[in-house]
Amino acid sequence: MADTAADIKILSPAETAERFLWDRARELAEIHRHVPQIVIERLLIAAELSGVDEALAIVRYCTGDAGVTLPPEFTAAYLEQLRSAGRG
């Protein structure tokens, strides 16, 4: 079965951000210009892997709010992201 033009759907920016982590990271990098997009991507992946609300990770690491504590599962997932990046 071949795809046709009718099968193509153009996503809205909101739908793209909802579906694709890299697009949320891009949007957040525009807001938090001092944090590289790749760092935000790793934060979002670690949040997803550890089951932590990604907003908490962004507040903690992008705004520097040391009052936000994240569970050890998040830290382990983030460190694994960093180790994986080093293996590139």
Q: Is residue 10 part of a domain?
A: no
The tens digit of pLDDT for each residue in 18-58 reads 667 888 999 999 999 999 999 999 999 999 999 999 999 99
Spatial CA neighbour of 17 closest among 33, 7, 28: 28
**DSSP track, the chain:** ----GGG--PPPHHHHHHH-HHHHHHHHHHHSTTS-HHHHHHHHHHHHHHT--HHHHHHHHHS--TT----HHHHHHHHHHHHHHHH-
Into how many domains does the chain fold? 1
Residue ranges making up the domain that contains 75: 16-87
Average pLDDT over residues 54-82: 95
Q: Is residue 50 part of a domain?
A: yes
Q: Is residue 30 part of a domain?
A: yes
